Structure 1
Amino acid sequence: MLQSYCNGQSDLTMQERTFGSAVVQAVTDRIRDSCIYSDDRLFIRRLAIVQSDDGEMSTTYRPGYNGGIWQIDEAKFISTRSCGSSAIYQECGLILSKFNITWSSVQWTDLLKPLYSGLAASLYLKLQGADPAPGDVAGQASLWKTYFQPSQDVATYTTKVQKAESETDGSCDYKPIDIVFIIDESGSVGSTNFRKILNFLAEVVDNLNIGPSAVQVGLVKFNSAATRVFYLTTHSDKTSLKSAILNTVYRSGGTSIGAGIQHADRYIFPVKYGGREDATKIAILVTDGASFSASFTNQTANDAKANHIRIFAVGIGNIRISELNSAASDPDCTHVSVLTNFNQIDDIIYEIKKSACRASNPVGPEAEVGGEVGDGDGSTIEISTEDGNNKTITTEVDCGVLNVYSSFATPHPSPAFYDKTDTAIAGSPSIFVVHVTDKRPLFVTFVRLNPDPSCPNASYTGDVSNDPPKDTVFANNDWNTISNPCTKGGAKFHSHPTDPAKFITCDDSQKMYITQCSSGKLYSNGSCIHAHMITVGKSSTPVGSPVDALSTHLILCRVSGILQECQSKDLAEDFYAKLCDGTNPPIKNPCTSCAIADSHLVHPYPLDDNKYITCDGEDSHLITQCPIGERFSVAKQSCISSSDSEEEEEEEEEEEDGSEGNGNSNDGIDGNPCTEAARAQNKYYFPYTPDRTKFIQCNEWGDRFIMPCPSGEIWFDEISSCAADALGEASSGGTSGNPCTDNAGKLVAHSNPAKYIQCDNGGVAHIMSCPGGLRFYPSKSYCDW
């Protein structure tokens, strides 16, 4: 359902008694990005989990206690107000400059605001000398017990942290990331410490989802010169990747950090060497000392950053901190880690993983973006605003709901902290304009907040443009017949005056955009809702119309501005006539000329789930009663048991699809075409030579299934699809033909109503897909509802 849209900044970190993981993450991001406690090694984030379950513990905001999410006792808080202390003097200054908060004047009651509670925890820990904090969970558990909960066992800390982090450990699973390790093999490192570096890299890899569509890893080593160990695409699975890392040979030599960065930038990350245009690019530099030329390091690092590569620097031992700071991305405090010896190297594995996963993907001032986002996961882009133009951001999602957050103030916009937000649902894009006033980068996060079992991983496509928004539906005549309802300060959403499956969205400049609800849904009171509800006992189940979107208009109508069950008297005389072009005459009958032309001969009966309508010519139709205990299923186009759910129908269809037999049966053909070589070329469909009305479908494991073509169609290998048997070839024994032979330059129907065949001028067939929720109408020669 559509959510309320919000313009203007929202900051839950500064509102009293707010809670939740999004709020806590926003607080820790703001503290780290402001370099107030950047070297906390995730301790501040973990402390909120252990102290109050991110504020969701019932005792968090108990009467008489004002410690907030981080549960900072009053005595601890009072100790942090001594900003004259050298331990926190600089931090108090940063709090004033970044947040306009004079910390010495803050009261304990202010800690009811999450940002204040997080700042108090940070300052208190710095007063105790916990800077940097221990990187390992056991060390942090000991610190927590000593300064926060002396009566508790350290196991409480480790158990709660490990449980929480294991539940969110898939944050990288659906994000394309290209990571290149740049490691020091100079003489000062030595073979023993070089082996520790390799073990460190292997542990980092062990915590990532490795694969062609997820995380790819490349490796460069350097001494006085740089050497490629392997490309990003060399190893596509975790086992071979770890083996290659651990078997890397140590050579010794001088130290040229710049040579390592330059080699990764020029010869590993580019697309022609295996990098991906849509991937977040991360370089992790590991070195033990200073190079022979700090200026060369700075130059090559700047070149890499200009190519949208984010650099993390890990320094061990006697390093030159200024050189690491110049090499790493900004801010230095979150991109540079300094360890005193190689034995500490595993302290930062989890932090680097999380930082890499949450790093934004830089794009230009105009760009096309996209990807896959699982429930609760987020993907962030960083948009350049150097051109000074306002940005129009359009986002479409193929299923479920996608929330879009933008901000200039934080590199991690979220529900808890953002400048502007919008929502995209399947069939209803998000469109909003961001006004650019300076050249700060604009960060946009795409995140799915509400789990949707039917849509575990949504794919989205986005467009960043300098152009004003465009209409999101196909060419239509709405603009000539609909007056603009958008007014300054008025409502953002309006009903479409003639089509209940569309609605009007207004932008900040009072322009209107017409949007279509997804298939099987109609617009009502700010939401796209399911077109019909089946009630069984006390439970109601939403039922869309995946086969015949046209029929959804039969089920509900608008009465006094509210969608409800249609009565014949409530329908306008031309209601059905407007459902598609060519309807003649305009009668209250689903068997319209265009419906019959497109083989839409069976429809649900509007007022009774136990009946259905069968078309018997344009002016005639039959109303049939299902047997007792059965109802009509739009998806199955037949009567089924009233107790069957939509999910059971889909499972039955899947079982029926494979019922003809697989490659292990005696099916009258020799050999299995579903070879590994064929699958490597994405070829999963083959002709079934004994019978032109069938074809072979392969699965990803090499099994074959004999599948039937729809009635009246035969297999055409040229288009890898079934199509109309116009010449009666199946019965006459003719050979497969090309449906575009006599249809050059035309659009031809595909067996799948959501697709069509586009014939180019040379008679070559191209299979095309209609946008989500639409189907192809041969009588119109375009996709529509």
Structure 2
Amino acid sequence: MVFTSILVSGVLLASATLAIDLTLSPGARGGDVVAAVVDRIRSKCIFPNDRLFLRRLAYVETRDGEDSRTYRAGYHGGIWQVDSLKLMVSQTCMSRTIRECNLIQSEFGINWPRVRWAELRKPLYSGLAAAMFILTKMANQIPGDMAGQAQFWRYNFNSFGNIATFVNRAETLRDNVCTDNVIDLAFILDGSGSILPGDFTRTLVFVRNVISGLDISPSTARVAAVEYGDTVAVNFKFNQYSSKQSLLTAVSKINKRHGGTNTAAALGNVTSIIFNQLNGARPDAKHIAILLTDGVSKNVTQTIHAANDLRSKGVTVFAIGVGNVNQAELMGVASNPSCTRMFLLDNFREIDSLMYELRKSSCEAPNILGGNGVGTGGSGNSITREINNGTDKTTVVIPPDQQTGNNGDTDKVFKAEVECGSLQIYSSYDTPNPGPAFHQNKNQATDGSPAILHFTATQKGRPLYITVVGTRLDSTDKVASCVSSKYTLSIVDKSSLQVKQTTDVICRTAGIEKPCTVTDIRNSNLGNYICPVQSTPYISPTNPCTPEAVANDDLVHPHPTDVTKFIFCDVSGKMYITQCPVGEVYNASTGSCNHGTVEVTNGVSLGSDVTNPCTSANLALGNLYFPHPAYHTQFIQCDLFGKAWVMKCPPGQSWHQDLLTCSSKSQDVGRQTSVNPASLCQASGEMYTHPSDSTKFVHCTGRHRGVVQMCPASLVFSQAKRACDWP
């Protein structure tokens, strides 16, 4: 369904939307999709320490799927370009990868040895295939440095690749290392007697390199450090140094201590002294602690207890162990998912290989909403952020105990308010970084209209992750009183939300006000207040993936109520509701998403003397274009709200309904104007030039079955390349 919001007393009670999962959408592409795939794989501990290689590999191979050859006919390797032989290698599931095969089955419900190559057109499958193939090739761990990864790629993944090409393309991803730079970062450095002076110097060089990549200032990143052996020394606090150079100088002056490894005492000092507002810790900043140690602590039980106390204050803890360490202890210290926040190194010479990944992971770690919070007994139930440069993005996590009240009921809600801006809010219990490509729920908030998110009772015991993208209003969008733009995220009691009977109700679809329908009210949280007796839950579409449909290779179907979505069937009969790219709608006649518009420009509203063809039935099928009954040089185009617009063909051209385009008479003389897939298609995946329009092609979906698809703007179909290309 098209997203509908209902505004009551300034509170946006968003109706629950179906989950969006572009990672399972065949042919999906883009940075958001790749990031979602990598997050899902890493967070399930399938390939947790990939050192950013999986992310880089997608961009090097296909520019995140944006390369026109990514989904070429006859090749199913997908975004990561995994050929059929590599897939077979990845499916052995013997010794080295049996654990990962079991995780894929338990976490995603995918029987990996039975996956077909054609399924790699789904980004998650392509990413999993790349990860599993890499794991079979790894003698040890994957290199952390760019040059080492380029060589690994050249000799294990793409024998025809160029090492310089890998480095040059991967380097372009560095610009997006830290999109959220309001960070309080504390280093906890083991200086016990077992660490050699040269290794401690390498540790300090590593700390300096991490700091060098951060934006250091009082309003962005702040850094603190402690060093410990038998005792603990606080080297500097968050409010001592506000420039990068002064910090780098302070790090160089840290002296090594000796004695035992009193990790519990060091963690306790960081909890009580470092992450304290009196010493510069900020309640609205992201709180990160990085522990570097080479051995087993004096008391493992006390160490894990101290780490629990630190995490309860909303601090994300990373643990780096070098040499002969207690892996179970480090897992108990690191924040969840611990498999992505605990790193093991053979020696201190490898420590610099973590620099880029750790810096990126620190920037992407979520703010923890709820708990004790930093400061002197203050609450962590809210954070406020400024939108300084047009947009601001942050992710928060709400622990399970913060989603319920004292009686165990879900009597709390998440509230997002914004001043002089707007918010897009993505939430999920299944991924630590929900976004446009993968989320369970999407809400929005605008100036004066907060968003309210109700916790799901059936998800008790699981943390909720929420990504918020704030956009600042342009000066033309609001009066000059908007000097600054900011938003507040908080956890509040349901009882604080009151719905008054005298309040007006306003419904909006895609930001445009419209009359409220009964369905709008019932599908919103207002149904509990206004029509509790008749209120019915949202009913998912009937599954069209019947055994007959799958047997006939009929795998793509229109969504019954939302033209911006379609339903994709897998071979087991499961259905996946798939979102079209932004600005596109599903067209059943072509079997693909095409550009559709909410508002049609350069058109004239259809007169009352002509029957409006933009019925709900046609919209559901994606039928948006119709011939004008009186003029062959004009056609009727529907917008997504059922309004009809009269459009003119270019001079000298007329409308052809069978081609869904305007064309000149000379193009049609002696040429076939309709397509019969039965005469062309002999097997699934074949592609042929359209017989009368070079900007289109026939994509076969099975024997004697196919759909007509359009090339991107300015491109024509090349039969030789079996892809759209420049003319």
2:428 aligned residue: 407
Q: Could you say which structure has the larger radius of gyration? A: 1
TM-score calculated relative to the size of structure 2? 0.64
What is the deviation of 1:458? 5.0
Aligned twin of 2:280: 274
Shift of 1:390: 4.7
Q: Report the equivalent of 2:575.
A: none
Change (3 A) 1:512 1:58: farther
Distance in 1, Cα, partners of 2:514 & 2:240: 53
Helix, strand or coil at the partner of 2:502? helix
Within the candidate set 505, 508, 511, 2:525 is matched to 508
By how many angstroms is 1:236 displaced? 1.0
- 1:379 counterpart = 2:394: yes
Query: Does residue 199 of structure 1 match 2:205?
Result: yes
Alpha-carbon shift at residue 399 of structure 1 (Å):
3.8
What is the rounded CA distance, in whole Å, between the counterparts of 1:457 and 1:159 in structure 2? Answer: 39
- 1:362–1:337 distance in 2 versus 1, CA, 3 Å: same
Deviations 1:650-697 (A, max 9, x none): xxxxxxxxxxxxxxxxxxxxxxxxxxxxxxxxxxxxxxxxxxxxxxxx
Structural mapping, 1:600-619, within 5 Å: none
Equivalent in 127, 134, 140 of residue 136 of structure 2: 127
Q: How do residues 49-60 of structure 1 correspond to structure 2 at under 5 angstroms?
A: 49-60=59-70
CA deviation string 1:524-571 (max 9, x = no partner): xxxxxxxxxxxxxxxxxxxxxxxxxxxxxxxxxxxxxxxx9xxxxxxx
**Residue 461 (structure 1) aligns with:** 488
Mapped to 2, the partners of 1:241 and 1:493 lie a distance apart of 47
Once the two structures are superposed, residues 106-165 of structure 1 have per-residue CA deviations (whole angstroms, 9 ceiling, x without a partner) of 101111111111100010001111652110000000011112222222111111111122
4+ residue runs over 4 A deviation: 2-6, 373-377, 448-458, 468-472, 490-498, 503-506
The amino acid across from 2:37 in the alignment is V
Of 297, 304, 307 in structure 2, the residue corresponding to residue 301 of structure 1 is 307
Amino acid at match of 2:223: V
Match 2:293 to one of 274, 287, 293: 287
Is the aligned partner of 1:444 residue 2:453?
no
Distance in 1 (CA, whole Å) between partners of 2:177 and 2:512 is 41
Q: Which amino acid aligns with 1:467?
A: K
The code of the aligned residue for 2:318 comes to: F
Do 1:432 and 1:507's aligned partners in 2 also have CA atoms closer than 8 Å?
no
Instruction: Name the residue aligned to 2:100.
Output: 91
Q: Any residues of structure 2 matched to 1:211-226 within 5 Å, and which?
A: 211-226=217-232
Write the letter of the residue equivalent to 2:90. T
Write out per-residue CA displacement over residues 172-195 of structure 1, whole angstroms, 9 at most, x where no aligned residue: 33xx22111000111111221111
SS of match in other structure, 2:278: helix
Query: Which position in structure 2 is the counterpart of 1:79?
Result: 89
- How do 1:489-568 and structure 2 match up within 5 A? 495=513, 507-510=524-527
Return the alpha-carbon distance in structure 1 between the equivalents of residues 476 and 270 of structure 2. Answer: 41
Q: Which amino acid aligns with 2:489?
A: G
Counterpart-to-counterpart distance in 2, 1:398 and 1:485: 20
SS in 2 for 1:96: helix
SS at match of 1:211: coil
Q: CA deviation at 1:446?
A: 0.4
Amino acid at match of 1:380: T
Shift of the 294–354 alpha-carbon distance from structure 1 to 2, 3 Å rule, reads same
Paired positions, count: 496
Map 1:164-243; keep pairs closer than 5 Å.
164-166=173-175, 168-173=176-181, 176-243=182-249
Q: Equivalents in 1 of 2:246, 2:21: separation in Å?
A: 45
Q: 1:71 to 1:244 in 2, by over 3 A?
A: same
Task: Tell me, in whole angstroms, the C-alpha distance in 2 between the residues paired with 1:9 and 1:272.
Answer: 43
Structure 2 residues without counterparts, runs of 5 or longer:
6-15, 372-379, 478-482, 531-604, 606-727
**Is 1:362 aligned to 2:359, yes or no?**
no
Q: CA deviation at 1:436?
A: 2.8
Q: How far apart in 2 are the matches of 1:55 and 1:9?
A: 22
Q: Name the amino acid aligned to 1:172.
A: D
1:142 to 128, 147, 151: 151
* Local SS of the residue matching 2:425: strand
- Tell me by how many angstroms 1:426 deviates: 3.5
Q: Secondary structure at the match of 2:110?
A: coil
Tell me how far apart the structure 2 counterparts of residues 81 and 275 of structure 1 sit (CA, whole Å).
48
Distance 1:250 1:463, change over 3 A: closer
What is the CA-CA distance between 1:307 and the residue it aligns to? 1.8
The CA deviation at 1:4 is 6.0
Name the amino acid aligned to 1:507.
S
Pick the aligned partner of 1:423 from 422, 425, 444. 444
- Whether the 8 Å CA contact 1:285–1:313 is kept in 2: the answer is yes
Cα distance in 2 for partners of 1:505, 1:44 equals 43
What is the CA–CA distance in structure 2 between the aligned matches of 1:92 and 1:453, rounded to whole Å? 53
Alignment of 1:685-724 (within 5 A): none
CA, structure 1 residues 273+485, in 2 after alignment: closer, same or farther (shift >3 Å)?
closer
CA deviations over 1:682-739 (Å, ceiling 9, x no partner): xxxxxxxxxxxxxxxxxxxxxxxxxxxxxxxxxxxxxxxxxxxxxxxxxxxxxxxxxx
The structural deviation recorded for 1:230 is 0.8
Residue 161, structure 1, aligned to residue 170, structure 2: yes
Q: Which one-letter code corresponds to 1:135 in the other structure?
A: G
CA distance in 2, matches of 1:130, 1:158: 22
Equivalent in the alignment of 2:720: none
Letter in structure 1 aligned against 2:97? I
What percentage of residue pairs aligned between the two structures are identical?
A: 37
Say yes or no: does 1:319 pair with 2:344. no
Relative contact order (alpha carbons < 8 A, sep ≥ 6): 1 or 2 greater?
Answer: 2
Amino acid at match of 1:346: D
Pair 1:493–1:375, CA change in 2 (3 A):
closer
CA distance in 2, matches of 1:130, 1:27: 24
Distance between the aligned counterparts of 1:21 and 1:450, measured in 2? 23
TM-score by length of 1: 0.59
Question: d(CA) in 1 for partners of 2:471 and 2:59?
Answer: 19
Structure 2 distance, partners of 1:447, 1:241, is 31
CA distance in 2, matches of 1:150, 1:414: 34
The verdict on how the C-alpha distance between 1:23 and 1:468 changes in structure 2, with shifts beyond 3 A counting, is farther
Deviation at 1:433, TM superposition (A): 2.7
SS, match of residue 180 in structure 1: strand
Task: Identify the residue that residue 691 of structure 1 maps to in structure 2.
Answer: none
After superposition, what is the alpha-carbon deviation per residue over 1:403-423, rounded to whole angstroms, capped at 9, x for unaligned? Answer: 101111112111111111112
Cα shift readout 1:17-43 (whole Å, capped 9, x = no counterpart): 111111111111111111111111110
**Secondary structure of residue in 1 paired with 2:494:** coil
The answer as to whether partners of 1:485 and 1:512 remain within 8 angstroms in 2 is no
Counterpart residue type for residue 289 of structure 2: A
Change (3 A) 1:8 1:51: same
- 1:270 and 1:436 map into 2 onto residues whose CA distance is 34
Q: Which amino acid aligns with 2:382?
A: E
1:251 Cα offset (Å): 2.7
Amino acid at match of 2:346: T
Deviates more, 1:449-458 or 1:233-242: 449-458
Answering whether residue 341 of structure 2 is matched by residue 335 of structure 1, we say: yes
- Taking structure 1 as reference, are residues 124 and 481 closer, same or farther at Cα in structure 2, changes over 3 Å only? closer
CA 1:398–1:511: 2 relative to 1, 3 Å: farther
Match of 2:592 in 1: none
